[in-house]
Amino acid sequence: MKRALNKRVLVTLVATILATVCGVAGGYLLGGALALRQAKHRLQEDVERLVAEQTAFLKETRATLETMNASTYPYCSEAEIGYFRKLVFQTDYLRDGGRIRAGKIDCSVTLDAADLLHAQLQPAYSTPDGVQVFNATGQLQVRDQITLGVQFGDSYVVINSGMGRRLDKTPLQFIVTMTAALDHNPSRLMSISPQPDDAIFTRNGLSRRRETLYFTLCTPASFSCTTTHMTTSEAMLADRTELRIFMALGGLIGALFGVVLSIFYRRNRSLENQLLRAIRQDKLRMVYQPIVNLASGEIVGAEALARWTDEEGFAVGPDVFIKIAEERGFMGEITRLVVRHVLRDFSETLRAHPDFQVSINVAAADLGDPRFLPMLEQSLDQAGVLAASVVIEITESSTALHKVALGAIRYLRRLGHQVHIDDFGTGYSNLSYLHDLSVDAIKIDRSFTQAIGTEAVTVTILPQILAMAETLHLQVIVEGIETSQQAAYFIGGAKSILGQGWLFGHPVPPEEFLRLLAASKQLRPQGSIEQAAIYLADGI
């Protein structure tokens, strides 16, 4: 049992650990999926915010350029440059402005005349309404940032390269791509971190490339697309608290599932379920214990006893599994299995030796089962065995259901079976009760046999039981005989008494019992009961 307990503990531990690990992994996957879903929403919200701000400053930029074009000051005069400086610096998204013709800057808010020689403009994009966008280089460029200039009419402005970081209030990054280019090829306009040109930057919606998520929103009015992007690692990091919660919950659920699984496993491996499987897979085995004539030592019968070893290799006593079967209502399945095995093991012997009998134990549930008696009768007919060769033993407690027991006993006796009361003396039967039941024999319970030679109260009841059996002309079978003194106590009466117990042999498999029976028929020992017992024990 200790080995079985250790096995159950190990199964529970392994199942719980595995389920916990799977739960944590499942929680991570679920949390990760939700984190990516949240990242999609954040990307979408951020790109919508960026587009809204871009639309606003582009509108203001267009208005600023129109105002500059409408200037009444002399072209590139000090007054006009001062006027332009006021227009540019009152915004936080422009860093320069001035006049431009044929791609050459004529004057600038921030550049001196000498610097204008190095200011190079490379128009790259244009819109149908006449707005041109160029990549500013030279003195207009801020370090290695992509600096964008916008020209409308004879005026231009340069967009502050830090605007993107001002807009980017989250860890997300963005890319702006123009869709109405001079060379008709979409190109990147600006971004916080360099990214390769890709079709995903001009296609609305969510996209994924390797470990990076992109969400693009195109605005036809501005002839541009804006794309926010972030890596999956950044998405996980942003929701690491939620991810940890999901992993913890997943681990907890996994652990609970592991415990439930182990409970289910143990329940599935419970004695009740194991017994049902053993019955239906015909894995119960039968052993047979000799019943002898105490006067001669001759084997006159055998009691069929079911034995069972559970799935963990442990022998389970009949007192345990028979009780389970009776309580759970499938005792009839064991009885049918016993009948089938007995007729398989002894049908030939029973046909050859009409004086030999095999006893089968029948439970109270069998007596009340309308399928039992027809099954027994049909099985005997198919095996060609007389009913007289099969003794039906019912426990004394089974007869408490008087009407049911009485009807079943009468029917069994009409078929030709002998009916014996097993474990007699344990509480129910009296003289009138035995007379009503009309049985053929009583089997005295082993508790009385064990009291022989002692001062126990039960030993004083034995003479009364034997007298009652003699009065009712009942055969007496004594169970639990282990010593020659116990056997000798019952010898010498007016009627031959049968005995059963370890003195004459332990229960053995059918092939061993048949060898013993064959030897018993050939050589009938004469002499004392001790010699008969030694002969039988040696034969076994």
Decide: 498 and 292 in contact? Cβ < 8 Å.
yes
Helix (H, G, I), strand (E, B) or coil at 303: strand
Strand order of the sheet with strand 94-101?
104-108, 94-101, 155-159, 147-152, 132-136, 121-126
pLDDT given at position 385: 95
Decide: 242 and 36 in contact? Cβ < 8 Å.
no
Torsion of CA 345, 349, 355, 358, to 10 degrees: 0
What are all long-range contacts of 190-193, with beta carbons under 8 Å and residues at least 24 apart? 190/146, 190/148, 190/159, 190/161, 190/164, 191/146, 191/164, 192/164, 192/165, 192/168
Composition of the chain by helix, strand, coil, percent to 5: 50, 20, 30
- Whole-prediction pTM: 0.54
pLDDT given at position 510: 95
pLDDT digits (tens, 9 = 90+) for 502-527: 999 999 999 999 998 888 766 454 44
| Rounded-to-integer distance, Cα 253 and Cα 265, Å | 18
pLDDT digits (tens, 9 = 90+) for 91-147: 877 888 999 887 788 899 988 877 776 666 667 677 777 888 877 666 566 555 556
For the chain, which residues make up each domain, given as ranges? 2-238, 271-535
CATH number of 271-535: 3.20.20.450
231, with CB counted inside 10 A (0-12, 13-18, 19+), is middle
Low-confidence ranges of the chain (pLDDT < 70): 1-16, 18-21, 23-32, 35, 117-122, 124, 136-147, 161-172, 178-198, 222, 235-236, 238-269, 396-402, 426-433, 457-459, 493-494, 521-540
Which residues lie below 8 Å from residue 107, measured CB to CB, with a gap of 6+?
A: 76, 80, 81, 98, 99, 116
- Which residues sit opposite 107 in a β-bridge? 99
For tokens 């707005």, name the residue.
131
pLDDT given at position 240: 60
Decide: 439 and 421 in contact? Cβ < 8 Å.
yes
| Rounded-to-integer distance, Cα 82 and Cα 183, Å | 36
